[in-house]
Amino acid sequence: MSPRARRLALPVLALVIGFVALGTAIYVTLLPRGGSTVSIGGPFALVAGDGKTVTDRDLRGAPYLVFFGFTHCPDVCPTKLFQLSEVFRAMGDRGRDVRALFITVDPERDTPEIMKSYVSSFDPRIIGLTGDPAAIDKVTRDFRAYAKKVPTKDGDYTMEHTSLVYLMGKDGRFIGAFNLERPPEEAAKDLLQRI
């Protein structure tokens, strides 16, 4: 295999794995089982960049968005967080109470300080959350999200993860997947209708 082909193989493989993970996440997240509604979300207590605990109860009263990712993510995470920032910008002051949670799937590297620094590049209504591995595993399972550690050839690792954005209602219950693949003004209008 030529050096050029090797350089292209990793991004192509990552893209294919991402699409498989997305398809699996959508299937697992949105498909009702046994004729009943799937429970998505639940109680959590995670740590924000300022070291304070944030719980699901702290977010009650306004809809909020949840996105799972990690700070070493090369493309999907910064893109989604930028899209969320654009939606918040488009909502303006009317969306001042709406929050988005960026929950790490890589608690080994994503400390509260690193999460705080990372999300500071985006809208301040985006809250970076981390926790111990058990807490992250629980919230990931409760949201029926997907996350898997994948070793790389250089001895490091990356994370495969769900790229779905979850929309949670004022009561903390799952409403559905929130589509960011549209103009920010359209997504903002949709979100504002839920306030």
Annotated binding site for Cu cation: 73, 77, 161
Residue type, position 74, single letter: P
Cα–Cα dist 68/76, whole Å: 10
**CB environment 152-191: b (16+ within 10 A), e (fewer):** eeeeeebbbbbbbbbbbeeebebeeebebeeebeebbeeb
Q: Do strands 64-69 and 99-104 pair parallel, antiparallel, or not at all (unpaired)?
A: parallel
Q: Would you say 53 and 87 are in contact if contact means Cβ atoms under 8 Å apart?
A: no
- Residue owning tokens 């050029």: 4
Binding residue numbers: 73, 77, 161
